[in-house]
Structure formats: C-alpha cells, structure tokens
Amino acid sequence: MKFKDDVAIITGAASGIGQEVALQLAKEGAKIVLVDLNACGKTINSFEQGTDYLECLGDIKDPKFVKAVVNRTIEKYGEVHILVNNAGTCSRLDLEDMTLEMWDRDLNTNLKATFLFTQAVVYPHMKEAGYGRIVNISSVSGINGGVVSGEEKNGRSGPAYAASKGGVIALTRWVAKELGKYGITCNSVAPGATATAITAGVAYDTGGQVIDRMGEPSDIAEAVLYFASRGAGYTTSQVLKVDGGISIG
C-alpha cells in the first residue's frame, strides 16, 4: 500500500476532486482528514471498511478553523505527511459585472486558504519531521486566463478565479523553493474542464481538445497521488496540466 500510515489533510473533501483524492489515498492505506464546509457523508460512506479518518467541518478562510484542523490532526495522529489544497469556488462574472464580494470570495477561498493551510502544516510539523508533500489544485485558467465554454456570457471562468489560481501557482513555486531544504515538496495540478459541481450546467466544447471529453475527478486524483507519494521526492515546483490537451497551441 503506497500510502500506508501516511496522514493526509484534504480540503474540499465532500465531493468532486477532493472526494476522489480522499478515496484513492485511503485505498492505498492513508489516514484521511476530511475538510469541508459541508458534511462529508458521501465520501465517508464510500470508504472501504476500516479506513481511519477524521472529519473537520468549517470555513477554510478562517485562520482559527485552519489551526483547529491541524491541531486535531496532530492530537489524533501525531503527524501530518500530506496536504492537498483542493477546495475552491469559481465565479463566472465577467470583468464588467464582477463584484467585490465575488472577488474576495474566490481569492480568499482559493488562495488565502491555501496559504493558511500550508503555513499551519509546515510550521512546525512538517519542518520538524523533515518530510512533507503539499499538492495545490490550481487550474489552466490560472495559466491561460480562463477556459472558454460554449456560452457567450458567464460561461468562461471569471477574472477572480483566474487571478486566484494564478496566485496558487506562484505560491506553489515560492513554497517549493523555501521548503525543499526541509524535505518538503510543493507541486500543483492544473485541471482543465472537469466534471464537478463547479462546472455543472456549463457547456464546454471539448472538440478543440486532443482528448475530446470532459475530465473526471479520477483523472485529477491520479496526478495528485503522484505528487503526494514518497516516489516524488525529487519533483517540486511543478505545475502539471491535466486538461485533455487544451493547452497545446
């Protein structure tokens, strides 16, 4: 079992990509800390019998909640090996219609929370252990300015989402440079259009992709598991696009 006895914190674990990451890590022997604003019953009910897990429900934008999650993890398991910053929001308002409320929501959920959890697991826990795997879910929108859907308006991911995910990529690279000396790697997976709640109801034209279909959460989870593994110890600061080839020029 590739992740036997590893302790993994996963944000946004109630559904979608986070749920799939949790299930795959658990199947490989990891102890799972499920973090979400919503109850994770669907994920928990899908675990194999005997899976060791901890559910933490709250707002990942709240520093006190983030610290409480990490403290509960350490109290129960004594250590933390893997952090997957997955939870996110995506407003689809264009620049003209973008509100400050939506801007703050996307930036705080996607970028601020990634910073908060990274800081909380590294200092002192991963640093003292001399080991850690941090995987941040960004997006090809943070690279190319937004995946265009088939709709004329409010289909493309908005400027707040693109800015937040671009920030996640920049933060990933900064953290990787800072923490490599402690045996901690930090990488990012950048999905393209993927069938989750965020993309529900949005019509994506995948005909221009090399692989003509929407991505599935399992496609993204497979990439996350590589970065989270002990075998990825010489890989850091990378942004892996899992996008069906849409980024090919």
The catalytic residue positions are 161
Q: In degrees rounded to 5, what are phi and psi of residue 8?
A: -125, 125
Task: Round to the nearest angstrom and report the end-to-end CA distance of the chain.
Answer: 39
Residue 236 tokens, joined:
């850091």
Phi, psi of 57 (to 5 degrees): -110, 130
Q: Is 153 exposed, middle or buried (0-12, 13-18, 19+ CB in 10 A)?
A: exposed
Identify whether the C-beta of residue 21 lies closer than 8 Å to the C-beta of residue 123. Answer: no
Q: State both tokens at 39.
A: 């109850």
Cα angle value 89/139/136 (rounded, 5°):
80
